[in-house]
Structure formats: C-alpha cells, structure tokens
Structure 1
Amino acid sequence: MVKLHDGGVYLVNGETLVPEAEAEKVEQLTGKAVAKEEAKKGTIAYGIMKAHNQSDNMDKLQIKFDAMVSHDITFVGIIQTARASGMEKFPLPYVLTCCHNSLCAVGGTINDDDHYFGLSAAKKYGGLFVPQHIAVCHQYMRECFAGGGKMILGSDSHTRYGALGTMAIGEGGGELSKQLLKQTYDVAYPGVIAIYLTGKPAPFVGPHDIALAICAAVYKNGYVKNKVMEFVGPGVSSMTTDYRNGVDVMTTETTCLSSIWRTDADTKAFLEKHHRGEEFKELNPEAVAYYDGCVEIDLSTIKPMIALPFHPSNAYEIDYLYENLEDILRETEKAADQVAEGRAHFTLLDKITKDGKLQVQQGIIAGCAGGNYTNVVEAAHALKGKNIGDGEFYLSVYPSSQPVYTDLDRKGLLADLMDAGAIIRSAFCGPCFGAGDTPANNALSIRHTTRNFPNREGSKPGNGQMSAVALMDARSIAATAANGGKLTSAETMDCWGDVPEYNYDDRAYQARVYNGYDKAELDSELRFGPNIKDWPEMEALSENILLKVSSKILDEVTTTDELIPSGETSSYRSNPLGLAEFTLSRRDPEYVGRAKAVQAMEKERLAGNVNAEIAEVMKVVNTIPGQEAVKAEDVEIGSTIYANKPGDGSAREQAASCQRVLGALANITQEYATKRYRSNCMNWGMLPFHLKGEPTMFEVDDYIYVPNARTALEGDLTDIPAYVIKNGKAEEIHLYIQPMTENERKIVKAGCLINFNRNR
C-alpha cells in the first residue's frame, strides 16, 4: 500500500500522523497548541539545513557543504571552471573518483589522461583521488564520508546518502565550482515530504522493489519535485542500513532535491563497522513536526516489481505484468517506436515463450544501487548450486567497491556466482549510463541499476541499433537467472534473508586512494592530455537579443541523455567543443548544424558585418513600437531550443554547456524537469525562459526577438514581452522567468559563471 496524502500532515512523537485538516488532534495528543510554522522547524531536514545555512534567512538558503564528490566525466570541467574563475586550492574535502570512464575503452588515451589530470589536481589543490575500479563514487562516500547531520554536494544526480543521516544533493558542475570558490549554494527553502514507513519488507522483496513502487507513485504527479524526502516511521528500522542505501539512492528518480532518514542503532553499527562511529548522530523529528505532504507506505504490502522501458516510474508488480503481459508489452513497443522514430525497431511480444514467460537476454547487478553487499549476497544464495544455462541470457555482477568485493570473495560468494555462470566485474558505473555490457540489438536487459531511460544501455537507434532496459531488484534478477533468463519473481524462491555479517576491510583504500586534503602542493603541475581543453570565451548578455529556434521538442519530457547523450560521448566531456558536436544527436541530429549557422552570424555581427537574412529580420524588428531605432549591430544573436519539460535525469552540466558552447542564449519551456538542469542553464549564461501559452506561434528556423532582455533581469521576471519574427511580421508572445537569486541574475548577465567570477 502506497498512499499519498492530499495536504500537509503533522507527525507526533515520530509515530502518529495527523492530517493538517485535523490539526486540533495535535493539541489533544501533546497537551499544548502547536503553530504550523513552528512545527515546520521540527523536521530532520530543517535542522540540518539551518546548521549549514550561511544567511540569516531560512526562506532563502545559502548553503556551504561539508564535502563534495565528482567522477571522471565531470571533475575535469569543474576544476577547469574553478581554475578559470580564480580558485587557489580546494577549501573543503573534494573526492575525485574514476568510476565512469574506468574502462579507457574509447577515444584513445583520453580517458586515462583525465584520470592523471584528476590525480595531479588532487595533489596540487588538496583533494582525494580514488583510482579506477576501486569504488563507485557513492559507495565510497557512504563508506568514508557520509555521517549524521552532514551535507554533501556531488556532480552526479544520484548523490544521495540520506540513510546515513546526510542530506546530499546532486547538481551540475557549476554549483560545485561555486563551493570551490568559497561561494554558496543558493536555493529557496524546499518543501519537506514525509515518507512514512510501517511494516517490514517480505524476505523476497529488495530495496529496488520499494524504490520502484515509490517512483511509480510520485514521479508523474510531481508530488516530491524539488522537495526533500524525509523517511520516518517505525518501518525504517525494519531494514538494515545497507538495504536502506539501496532505496535512498533511487530517490533521485522522483525528481526530489534531497533525502534524509531518521537514524537508529543500525545506522550507528554501520558507521562503527566503517571505522567512523564518531560520525553517528541520532536524528529524529521533533515531538511535533509538520510536513508539506506525506507518502505512507506499508512495507509488508510491497511485492517484487519491474520498471519497463523507458522510465523507473513505469513500474508494475511482476505478478500484475504476467496477468496483463501482452497488453503491457504491446504498449511498451509503442513507446519504443516513439523513441526510435523509425530509425530502429524494438520488439517484446516475440520474447514471450511457449509457456507464457518473458524471455530476457541479459541481467546486470551493478553500481550504487545494485552492487551493495546485501544485494550480491542474496543473488549468490539464489544461484548457489544452479546455473544460468548456455542460451542467450547472461548475467554480470559488479560489486560496488573493493572492500565489498574482497569480503564477498573471502566468503566464497563470488565463486558461487561464477560457478553458476555469472561474470564478476570490478566496481564500475558503466551499465548505468551505457558504457558497459551493452546488450545486443533488440535485446531486453533486466538491471538492478538506477535508470532505464532510452539508450542508457548504450544502443544507438540512429544507427539502426536498439535495445532496452527493465529495472528489477537483484533478488528477482537472480531468480530469473536461475530460470535461464525467463522473467521470474523472487517470490518463487525460498532462499532469502540469510545475510552473513559484513566485514569491512579498507586495505585497498589505504593502498590506492590518495588523500591530499589540507595538504595542497600548490607548486606542483597539472597534467594535461591532448583532449583536455579550456572553456571557450563566452559573451556577456546584450540588452536586446535575437533568438533563432534551432530545435523544437514537443515530447512530454526531454531527458539530459537526449540533450547530450551518455555512453561513448563521455570520452569527450573534457573537451567542450568536441563534446558539443553530440548535442541533441539522438533526438534532433540537425540541431548542431543549425546552431553553428546561428553562431556564425553572431561572429559576423561582432566583426562588423550583418548578413542579408539578419538585415531583413531587423526591418521587421524596427516596426515594433519602441524598437524603431535599434540597430542590427547592437542586437546579440543566438540560438535557442524549445522543449516542453527538459532536463530530467542526470546532473551533467554539459546538457546546458554544450548548447552555450554552440552559441545558445536561452531555453524556452513550459516547465524545467529539475532544479539542477535550470541551474545549469543559468550557470552557463542562458536565460531560463518559460512560455506563456502553447508553442504554436513559432517553428524551427523562426526568430524570436526579446527587447530589453538585460533590463528584464533587474525586474520581477513575471512578464517579458517578445516577438516572433516570421512572414515579414512581428507577433507578440509573452515569456517569464521563475524567481532567480541576485547572483543568478548577475551570472546570466555576465554570460556564464566564469565571467561572473572574473568580473568580481
């Protein structure tokens, strides 16, 4: 049972929920009147944010974090931005991990060049460096950094350590650069949603089953969007901390801002086992706490789940899937046709076997969600003495860190998996974003990883290649493997719950992790490779701007994977111009050419030349009241994209910076899917416009003139007149921008975060 409350709730003594409409019951339970605004201060989240807020206004937070983490497809750009902005050394512990481009399999030397750059930066500026295959970033942070009452910022969207009492946030690289420059993370105080847990999960139910049930309940309705999910209630203690970590990391897929859990004796035991018992802090709501909403979950009712392509929220109980197999698969095939747009073909109905089962071709248990100790143990127990068969199905297992790997090895559990035919791999995030174990064309992969967005498995529909991912818990994946790849619920087996105590041994970290925090060697040199390039110069925003629509996407949601693909493009994340060539390549392959043509016109303008096309547009602009005297040479020209709801998924700043590198000046949307994508747009100097009304007045290659754009950033942003220039006429439309901080306005005016800091 997953129940969403219609309004706010009070939580009394950590156990009793009182709907806001029945607030008088709070006084009956406590014997005293409690004001709502005071009760809002009773959440765990409030206390942590207050302790980290540098301003005297809790409505407008200015956060400084305790530590940061980045992996090897983000840390080069972040450090390059901070260097260009005047950074001298890392002012807080900054962990650089090599868990994404670990394979060094594409792009020649450039992946490992990034790794050497990271090590040299850790030495020069005083950071920590975790080499390839040692740990995935989030597992390392759980083991070595997260603790009670902390806040951690990461440049990966799945930066979530709430089960250890840490509020962690995944953001684009610009926000991490700000922390390196001793600036703050500025955000309006978020709503806090109670995730109230009762009951206990069945032995055959894993953390992914719970996470997928939550995603299905809250993603599409935006119930927790940009809010904090606070896990409370007696059901929290029914799960081990390792298990809770597996639920917690998936909160990113709900589009929440962060997460936090109440802590208990098991949290303390986890930290003590990892030699950090002093980091434990008992966290519970106050006697009365008010929440802006509540998701009530009876854990005992959760069943084994599957999230079919192409989103974690597209989730069903496995039993329900089999009861409606053909209908659900038929709808999924239709969704695949929309994704492929005729460039490839993906089928599922032909994967139904004669006995009515769904045959899958691949299983993956990996990363910060699936590679946890408990999950791999359960999979090993399910497969001990069995085999996965000699057919097309195969299984790969990636333990999340070397300490997890070595303990599984010493207990003989990896041997049990290998004897069954599974492949054991090192700590690596590749299967989560399309850089490892890419399945065959038209294959279906079941994965205990974080995402099943289109092409996250590495296929390329544009080249006629397409496969897809369904998310499942490791327990049901193991049950499926034991059944030769026929989709099978973990409920059909009776081998769960016998998890031996984990023995943490960090000798691998002692041997390989470089810890230079507070020991910066400022005279040492950074090591560059030929693919590591500086950010190009960005132009400051002009008073009047002319936008050419270079892509118009009417999909319900546009993911960051569509804005800038993951997978093999990761090799070029340290080369802004090289990476920009891939912008929108899977969604609108013509975009790059269009954007470059607009950029060329702007370069001509700056050189004192105005081409004939712009001259004709300006004739129309001069017919607009108040714009009669505006000259073409004084109007900045840039591209823009329109998308209904862009930015779901990854925190990668390159989803925005690649547009900016190609000369973009704005995004126009109905709604931004996540705060982090909107922040990325602003940090790279793009105006984050919303459109009033529907996008019927303009198409690709039309121009939109925005007079007084720079001045608009000094106003209330609620109404910004603009004009579509087409067919020799100017048709008025209205844009607006949601609230921006003072610094965000200055950053956009300056043209990007680097310019803003140089100006300072």
Structure 2
Amino acid sequence: MTNVARQLIESHLLSGEMTPGQEIGLRIDQTLTQDATGTLVMLELEAMGLDRARTEVSVQYVDHNLLQTDAKNAEDHLFLRSAARRWGLWFSQAGNGVSHPAHMQHFGRPGATMVGSDSHTPAAGSLGMLAIGVGGLEVAMAIAGEPLYLVMPEIWGVRLTGELPPWVSAKDVILEMLRRDGVSGGRNRIIEYHGPGLSQLSAMDRHVIANMGAELGATTTVFPADEAVRSFLRAHGREDDFTELLATDADDPATWDRTDEIDLGTLEPLVAAPSSPGNVQTVRAAAGREISQVVVGSSANPGLRDFGMVAAMLAGRRTAPGLSFDVNPTSRNMLQDLTRMGATFDLIGAGARLHQAGCMGCIGMGQAPATGTNSLRTMPRNFPGRSGTSDDSVWLCSPETAAASGLTGVITDPRDWAETAGMAYPTIELPDRATVNRAMLEEPLPPAEAAAIELVKGENIATLPDLTPMPHHLAGPVMIKLGDDVSTDEISPAGARALPFRSNIPKLADFVFDAIDPDYSVRAAAHDGPHVIVGGENYGQGSSREHAAIAPYYLGLRLVLAKSFARIHWQNLVNFGILPLEFTDPGDYDSVAAGDELRLSDVPDTLGGHHELTVHNATRDEDYPARHRLSARQVEMVLAGGLIPLLRTT
C-alpha cells in the first residue's frame, strides 16, 4: 500500500524516517526562483561562494516585477540574468510567462523533486512531482546540492468521484476544499488526489488544484502521473520525459493518514469573498454585487482551456459598461496558441484589455482596483491590500464565473447567465500540439564561460544584513501584537510601492507591517536592542517571501511568540536566526500586551535541553509556558544567528 507521495519521498530520502513529525532530508532535482524572491537567492549564493549549480535543472524566472516605472526593476532583471549566467541556471526573460505553468511546459517531469522560492511551487505536483515552496535560503542550499530538510508530513488522500457538471471547473474543486477545511486545514500535510474522478481532469486542471493547495497551508499537493500527464507532455514535445507513477491500493484507507472524498457531480460554482481564500460561499449567495473589475489569469488559472472558455463566453458580446476586463496571459506559448485559436480576437472584440504574460495584478504590480469597489479575479489570493489597493475588496472565482460576471457587471452564477443568454456549456477544442517557443529562455553557459561572468549590480542591489548570534539572555519589548491568519503580504507587502526594493533590505524594512501599523518600522528602528512580536493562529500564512523574516530581523526582531505558525514562514524565521515559539496554553496570548517586555534566560541551555521552556513577562511579572519545534540542527542554526553564519562556522 504505497501512495504517490511516499514513493516520491522514499526515492529521494537521504536522512530520517518517513514517520509524520520526524525530520527528513531529501535530495532535490530541480529548483525554481522568480524575480520577487530570486534576488535574495542570488545574493545568498554569492555569500555562500558557490561555484556552479549542482541540480538537474535550476531556472530563474522573471514574472513578478514587470512594471518598469523607474530603473529598479530593470536593474533587478539585469542582476538576475548575470547571476543565472554566473551559476549555470536557465534564465526566463520578462514576458516569457508565469513561472509555474512555464516550468510545467518546459522542464517539469514525473518523479522529480523540486523546491521553489514561491509558495505556489506545489503546482508542479500536477505532473506527479514532489514540489515544495520554501524560503529563498533553502532554495540556495538546494542549488548548491544540499538536502532539503523538513518535517515528514501526513499524507491526506482525497478521493474524487463523479463528473463535474457544466459551468463548474477545477477552481471550484479547490474552493470546495477551502470551504471545508479553511486556510490552515492542510498544515503539515501533503494532499494527494486519487480516484475515478481524476479521469476528466487534464494536467492543467490539476495545476489549478495543486497551485491553491498552498492556500490550505499544505506542504504540497500531489497527483499521479497517468495518461493525462503523458498527454500534456506529448503536446509539448516531451513525451520522453514521462514516467508512470500511480498509487497502489489507493482506495484502502490504510494507505493514507487522513482521508476525504469529493463527489465532483455535487459541486456548484463557488467564490472566495474578501479578504481570505477561506471565505468560500456559493456564487448564487454572493450574486448581484456590483463589480468594477474582472481579472483573468495568474498561476491559479493558467491553462489554455481557462482562457479559451472565457473567450468562448465573450465571443460576439460586450463586457459591461464601465467595467475593466483584464486578461493576463500566463505564458508566451499559451498566448500564441490562444491567438492561433482565434480566441484573442474574441477577447479584444468584447472589450478585454490584454496585458503582458506575467503575474501582474496577482502580486499588486498594476491593475489595482478602485477603493470601495469589488474586483473579481481568477487568482489564488485575496489577502488585504495584496492587490495594491489598501482598502480592497477582492473575490476569487473560476474563469466561468469571471466571464459571466464581466458580461453582466455584477457577480453572476454562470449557470444563471447561460440560461438567460441561451448558451450551452462550450466545448473547448485545444490543439494536439502546443506551441513550443524557447526564444525567451537562455540556456546555462558552459562552466568555463560562466566562471568569468561578473554580477551586474545596480544601485538598488544591496548586500545581505549581518546575521549575529542569538544573545545568551534574550529580552525585548513586544513591538506589535497581531491577530490570527496574518499573512506575509501583511508583514512585507506586495505591490508596486514595495516590490522594487526586494533586493534592498534596509529600504524594504520601511514597509514592514505598513498596512497594519505604519509606525512599527519607526518604533523598531528607534529601539536599541532586540524586540518581540506576538501573533495569533497561523502566523505568516501565504507567500514564501523570506523578506517577511529578514526585513523585521534588520529592525531587531529576534523572537516571535504565537499560537501557531504557517510552515514556510516558520522555517524562514529559523533560517535568519529568529526564534519561533508557540504558546503551550493559547489562552496566555490574551495576557500579553504590546509594549510588555518579554524575557528568555539561558537561551542556549534552554533550547538545547528540551522543547518546553518559559517566557517571562517582566512588565506583568507573569510566566508563560511555551514550546519550540526545532530539531538539534535548527537549534544550532538559531543560536548561530541563522543558516549562513552556521555554514561559515562549519
């Protein structure tokens, strides 16, 4: 009884045992970096003194910071290209496409492992890969040939049965998962889909589901490598990369640590209301709300079928007056195929605005909606302010719901629109052979030529801050107290204001918690010494950006005491020498106030001896039992001041 996830882990296991809760080390075959997080990865490779990438494939994509309103983003792109050339990475130029679907098209292969400095890296699980989103420093280590260390997750088997009804698609499947389990239901779990319902889901349909598994907090999502995957690789001229990978005895409950089942035939169109992917309701329950914007695209709905469906619904019609209908193609290849099908003509004719291939509005780089209006998007996240508008109202939906609503000007169930319009559910005929265009992909240079490349560093490329050892006795004020489900978007914001400074930590630090408490960075910078953050449940959910750890570190953060943490952010804190502790009794959270001084004595002895410890509130003369989940290796890392200082001492 072996599921696909365990097969993938077992074939790459370098250390540890596959027991949930135990630390394991995995060999990594591929890496993915994008420009919003990749600049730090390249600076980390420089700090490590790497000679050349030691992976099977490593690719640096430029898909986030595409707006060039001044020189900063262009300088980042030149730096990233020079770094890719120096260390033997593939380089995907701006406009080539969003990293996740582009990687599927060009490099993904069943049976491989991959880490990426983007939380939606698990999208590659649609091909039968074990693909995990991590912090940039862990990607740098993987590029250098080092194992990925993580806690062995539980394997959650989700059996799919039945067939999707008309006007319901893959986005509604993952929204149903979020409706059931919320944004933390997948924490410390790998979700593996199986069952007869898989037969009607294409590889790109599975990409939609695997991509947004990140919104459940899952370590990753895995699908089998079956005929749907073979068909996808064949269409992209890579059938030789196919290896069948199937679960055995998948219907035996003993195969899984947890089980669930979805009858696809019972699903209906769903939407995630502002401002969380977990706020899921039926489209009919939300129907009638006026919208000012629809955005189609992003890594969450990147397939040719998704755009083709929208084009078929818009063909010969006009989008609602006063509404901005934005289309972000997800790859250059897909845009060529969309044009070849005639769908581009239908979109433009209906009033759609066609933008460049990239993430764009998904990360707040342009397409910010007007304050006080609703924006309906096929994107994966709607955290507050992520769109680039601080007081936004973003809803997440399927392409079918987006198109129907864009035509009516209000949130509309596509089934109701179809009945009024007299339209049957379209059948999208996709080409047997997809366009394969590698014009914007640069191959790695030969080793001798690569060694002679000098990094191109513009004025906005700053060196990493010094990482210093953890104090023997840690004491500092609670600089800010936060609630549940605080996202990394809220810690280190996206958008056109902050993103251009991703390679300049001193400047980026000015934006930390800008949407929640704009004075945080001022107070923290003025304080002489370390400080503490207190958080609620699921602290640090969302994006993998390690900037949400290193920018607060630059301001003096050394301890986060929370009810619980999201996986990637927890690891990022450890990587940069910040101690993540959890309240043993979540009720103690209520006893702490901003401004209280918290103390932790004899840190090396306390962390090294056991997982239970005591945090003292000197202001209130109270003690709070707490725990850490650090392995012995991670304790060394925190005490050294992070992974980079630890490497320098070994």
TM-score, normalization: structure 1? 0.81
- Matched with 2:160 is 197
Tell me, yes or no, if structure 1 residue 678 matches structure 2 residue 570. Answer: yes
Measured in 2, the distance between the counterparts of 1:195 and 1:114 equals: 41
- Matched with 2:634 is 744
- Matched with 1:416 is 346
- Matched with 1:757 is 647
Tell me, yes or no, if structure 1 residue 695 matches structure 2 residue 589. Answer: yes
Measured in 1, the distance between the counterparts of 2:648 and 2:153 equals: 31
Kept in 1: contact 2:540–2:569 (CA 8 A)? yes
Which residues in structure 2 correspond to 1:574-589 (within 5 Å)?
A: 574-589=503-518
Q: Deviations over 1:381-426 (max 9, x none)?
A: 101110114x221211112101100011112110001111111112
2:8 to 36, 44, 48: 48
- Matched with 1:656 is 549
Q: Deviations over 1:187-246 (max 9, x none)?
A: 2221000110001111211221111111111125x4421200001000001222222222
The structural deviation recorded for 1:278 is: 1.9
Kept in 1: contact 2:186–2:218 (CA 8 A)? yes
Measured in 2, the distance between the counterparts of 1:721 and 1:392 equals: 58
Measured in 1, the distance between the counterparts of 2:575 and 2:157 equals: 31
Measured in 2, the distance between the counterparts of 1:446 and 1:495 equals: 23
- Matched with 2:431 is 502
Measured in 2, the distance between the counterparts of 1:192 and 1:517 equals: 40
Q: Deviations over 1:69-88 (max 9, x none)?
A: 11111111011112212322
Kept in 1: contact 2:115–2:134 (CA 8 A)? yes
- Matched with 1:546 is 475
- Matched with 1:207 is 170
Which residues in structure 2 correspond to 1:245-324 (within 5 Å)?
A: 245-287=207-249, 290-322=255-287
Measured in 2, the distance between the counterparts of 1:270 and 1:101 equals: 29
Q: Deviations over 1:43-93 (max 9, x none)?
A: 110010011111253343101211111111111101111221232221112
The structural deviation recorded for 1:295 is: 2.0
Kept in 2: contact 1:186–1:741 (CA 8 A)? no
1:535 to 459, 464, 469: 464
Structure 1 range deviating more: 141-150 or 512-521: 512-521
Tell me, yes or no, if structure 1 residue 639 matches structure 2 residue 528. Answer: no
2:488 to 535, 560, 573: 560
Measured in 2, the distance between the counterparts of 1:505 and 1:498 equals: 18
Kept in 1: contact 2:276–2:381 (CA 8 A)? yes
The structural deviation recorded for 1:476 is: 1.3
- Matched with 1:58 is 18
Kept in 1: contact 2:561–2:580 (CA 8 A)? yes
The amino acid of 1:170's aligned partner reads G
Measured in 1, the distance between the counterparts of 2:428 and 2:308 equals: 7
The structural deviation recorded for 1:518 is: 6.1
Measured in 2, the distance between the counterparts of 1:431 and 1:559 equals: 18
3-state SS, counterpart of residue 682 of structure 1:
helix
2:111 to 137, 141, 149: 149
State the number of aligned residues.
Answer: 632
3-state SS, counterpart of residue 677 of structure 1:
helix
- Matched with 1:458 is 388
The structural deviation recorded for 1:597 is: 2.4
3-state SS, counterpart of residue 540 of structure 1:
coil
Tell me, yes or no, if structure 1 residue 130 matches structure 2 residue 92. Answer: yes
Kept in 2: contact 1:545–1:707 (CA 8 A)? yes
The structural deviation recorded for 1:457 is: 1.4
Kept in 2: contact 1:263–1:284 (CA 8 A)? yes
The amino acid of 2:383's aligned partner reads F
Tell me, yes or no, if structure 1 residue 731 matches structure 2 residue 622. Answer: yes
Q: Deviations over 1:369-388 (max 9, x none)?
A: 22320010000110111011
Which residues in structure 2 correspond to 1:354-365 (within 5 Å)?
A: 357-365=288-296
2:524 to 580, 583, 595: 595
The structural deviation recorded for 1:704 is: 1.4
Measured in 1, the distance between the counterparts of 2:615 and 2:427 equals: 64
Kept in 2: contact 1:380–1:413 (CA 8 A)? yes
**Percent sequence identity over matched residues?**
26
- Matched with 1:722 is 615
The structural deviation recorded for 1:517 is: 6.5
Measured in 1, the distance between the counterparts of 2:216 and 2:126 equals: 16
Measured in 2, the distance between the counterparts of 1:518 and 1:258 equals: 33
1:227 to 163, 185, 189: 189
3-state SS, counterpart of residue 581 of structure 1:
helix
Q: Work out which of the two has the higher radius of gyration on C-alpha atoms and give 1 or 2.
A: 1
Gaps of 5+ in 1: 1-38, 323-356, 461-465, 603-637
Tell me, yes or no, if structure 1 residue 516 matches structure 2 residue 444. Answer: yes
The amino acid of 2:487's aligned partner reads T
3-state SS, counterpart of residue 450 of structure 2:
coil
- Matched with 2:393 is 468
Measured in 2, the distance between the counterparts of 1:712 and 1:181 equals: 32
- Matched with 1:488 is 412
3-state SS, counterpart of residue 77 of structure 1:
helix
Kept in 2: contact 1:86–1:758 (CA 8 A)? no
The amino acid of 1:45's aligned partner reads A
Measured in 2, the distance between the counterparts of 1:363 and 1:56 equals: 47
Measured in 1, the distance between the counterparts of 2:172 and 2:295 equals: 16
Q: Deviations over 1:536-567 (max 9, x none)?
A: 212111221112211111x2221111111111
Q: Deviations over 1:284-340 (max 9, x none)?
A: 211355211112000011111111101112111112334xxxxxxxxxxxxxxxxxx
Q: Deviations over 1:467-504 (max 9, x none)?
A: 21111111111112222x12221213234341112355
Kept in 2: contact 1:237–1:264 (CA 8 A)? no
The amino acid of 1:362's aligned partner reads Q
3-state SS, counterpart of residue 503 of structure 2:
coil
Measured in 1, the distance between the counterparts of 2:343 and 2:365 equals: 26
Kept in 2: contact 1:401–1:427 (CA 8 A)? yes
CA RMSD between the two structures = 1.6
The amino acid of 2:172's aligned partner reads D
Kept in 1: contact 2:5–2:190 (CA 8 A)? yes
- Matched with 1:325 is none
Measured in 2, the distance between the counterparts of 1:265 and 1:731 equals: 61
3-state SS, counterpart of residue 647 of structure 1:
coil
Structure 1 range deviating more: 67-76 or 263-272: 263-272
- Matched with 1:6 is none
Measured in 1, the distance between the counterparts of 2:550 and 2:432 equals: 43
Kept in 1: contact 2:337–2:435 (CA 8 A)? no
Measured in 2, the distance between the counterparts of 1:532 and 1:504 equals: 42
Tell me, yes or no, if structure 1 residue 239 matches structure 2 residue 201. Answer: yes
The amino acid of 2:602's aligned partner reads N
- Matched with 2:51 is 88
The structural deviation recorded for 1:507 is: 5.3
Kept in 2: contact 1:193–1:229 (CA 8 A)? yes
Kept in 1: contact 2:275–2:382 (CA 8 A)? yes
3-state SS, counterpart of residue 35 of structure 2:
coil
The structural deviation recorded for 1:258 is: 0.6
Q: CA distance change for structure 1 residues 235 and 681 in 2, over 3 Å: closer, same or farther? A: same
Q: Deviations over 1:577-598 (max 9, x none)?
A: 1101111111122211221122
Measured in 2, the distance between the counterparts of 1:659 and 1:504 equals: 48
Gaps of 5+ in 2: none
Tell me, yes or no, if structure 1 residue 170 matches structure 2 residue 139. Answer: no
3-state SS, counterpart of residue 224 of structure 1:
coil
Kept in 2: contact 1:306–1:318 (CA 8 A)? yes
Measured in 2, the distance between the counterparts of 1:372 and 1:517 equals: 31
- Matched with 1:338 is none
Measured in 1, the distance between the counterparts of 2:16 and 2:590 equals: 45
